[in-house]
Amino acid sequence: MLQRFTGHYQTIVPHLFARVNIAYRRERIDTPDGDFLDLDWLERGDSRQLVILSHGLEGDSHRAYIASAAHYFARHGWHALAWNCRSCSGEMNRTPKLYSHGQSEDLETVVDHAVATGRYDRIVLIGYSMGGNLTLKYLGTAGRQVPEAVTHGVAFSAPCFIQHSVDSLERPDNWIYKQKFFRSLSAKIAAKEAQFPGLVDLSALDRVAVWRDFDRAFSAVIGGYDDLDAYYDYLSSGNYVGETAVPVLIVNALNDPIVPEACTPVDLARGHPLIRVEQPRGGGHVGFSLRGKDWNGMDERALAFVENG
Catalytic residues: 129, 256, 285
Q: In what order do the strands lie in the sheet with 150-156?
A: 25-30, 36-42, 79-84, 49-54, 122-128, 150-156, 248-251, 275-278
Contact 275, 265 (CB under 8 A): yes
Give residue 68's identity as a one-letter amino acid code: S
> How far is 91 from 38, CA to CA, in rounded Å?
10
Closest CA to 167 of 212, 112, 134: 212
* 254 torsion bin: left (phi>0), alpha (psi -120 to 50), beta (else): alpha
Closest CA to 274 of 152, 150, 128: 152
Secondary structure (3-state) at 290: coil
Count of C-beta atoms within a 10 Å radius of residue 144: 8
Q: Beta 248-251 vs 79-84: how paired, if at all?
A: unpaired
> How far is 265 from 250, CA to CA, in rounded Å?
9
Q: Beta 275-278 vs 122-128: how paired, if at all?
A: unpaired
Backbone angles phi, psi at 84, to 5 degrees: -110, 130
Strands (E), the chain: 25-30, 36-42, 49-54, 79-84, 122-128, 150-156, 248-251, 275-278
Q: Which residues of 40-49 are buried (b: 16+ CB within 10 A; e: fewer)?
A: bbbeeeebeb
Closest CA to 36 of 84, 103, 102: 84
